[in-house]
Amino acid sequence: MNYNIDEIKLYMENFGVNDDGFFTADDVDWFICEISKYAPSFDWNFGATKLVIEPKDRDYVIKIPFNGEWVSGECRHFYNADSEFGDNYCEDEITKYAEAVDAGFAEMFLPIECVMEIDGIPIYVQQKAEMLDCDGDMEQKEYSSKASRDKIVEKYNEGKRYLNRLPLSWVASCLDVLGSMERVEEFMKFLDEFNISYDLHCANVGYCNHKAVIIDYGGYGE
């Protein structure tokens, strides 16, 4: 991953928390409208816990964590993230990545890096990856071997519980990376242990360097 900190600052030039000291999903439209006026071309998306800015023709993305949400007309801090104050799901990802390193599964996760802080909100970068094709999972065959796909389909037909919630071709790519079904089973147990598996779907898993990876693993509301 290559990034230029001065270029990242262009996207963050008008960033700031709202009058209540929060950055939430409700602040995204305003912020995107502002940076669209001057920043280099980009795509963007957001979920429950963070905004992701995807500069075009670059191999990185910018992740900006929300630190709260609006509930019944009141802005409230998140509190379930595995972070210092419980409100930063990007820091939660860093914590989980360290656990993955200790467990021998680092290659299955894309790490993130904090590069600056604005108004108390840390700003992160992560290597860009190819998202999973939500509409044609088994069509992304170039990222897994036929032998692994056949084995995963066999396990699916045997009723393996974790295969009811994860894309089959993506798990087949996991098998290619990890080398055996025993390691895949250990990996799935790790995901359960650290409350990652319940929130895995096509929007937060994908491929990097033609290998399966988890892109977004901070969780939400654990």
pLDDT > 60? residue 11: yes
Please choose, from the candidates 182, 153, 157, 147, the residue with its C-alpha nearest in 3D space to the C-alpha of residue 167: 153
pLDDT of residue 220: 67
User: Residue 114: enclosing H or E segment and its boundaries?
Assistant: strand 112-118
Rg (CA), the chain: 18
Instruction: Note the pLDDT tens digit of each residue in 136-178.
Output: 555 567 899 999 999 999 999 998 877 877 888 899 999 999 9
Residue position matching structure tokens 């295969």: 163
Domain boundaries, the chain: 5-128, 131-214
pLDDT at position 202, please?
75
Question: How large is the average pLDDT for residues 69-78?
Answer: 91
pLDDT confidence of residue 62: 98
Q: What pLDDT is stored for residue 138 in this prediction?
A: 52
Give tens-digit pLDDT for 25-47: 999 999 999 999 999 999 999 98
More confident residue, 67 or 167: 67
Tell me the pTM: 0.92
How far, in Å, are 53, 87, 191 from residue 149 at the CA level? Answer: 33, 39, 21
Q: What is the mean pLDDT of residues 78-106?
A: 94
Q: Are 149 and 172 in contact (CB under 8 A)?
A: yes
Q: What is the model's pLDDT at position 41?
A: 95
Is the pLDDT higher at 163 or at 222? 163
Q: Which two tokens stand for residue 183?
A: 């390691």
Task: Please provide residue 96's backbone torsions phi and psi, each rounded to the nearest 5 degrees.
Answer: -70, -35
Residue 134 has pLDDT above 70, yes or no: no
**What Cα–Cα distance (Å) separates residue 168 from each residue in 145, 154, 165, 199?**
12, 11, 9, 16
User: What does pLDDT average to over the chain?
Assistant: 91
Residue 214: what pLDDT? 95
Q: Please give the pLDDT value at position 135.
A: 62
Structure confidence at residue 125 (pLDDT): 98
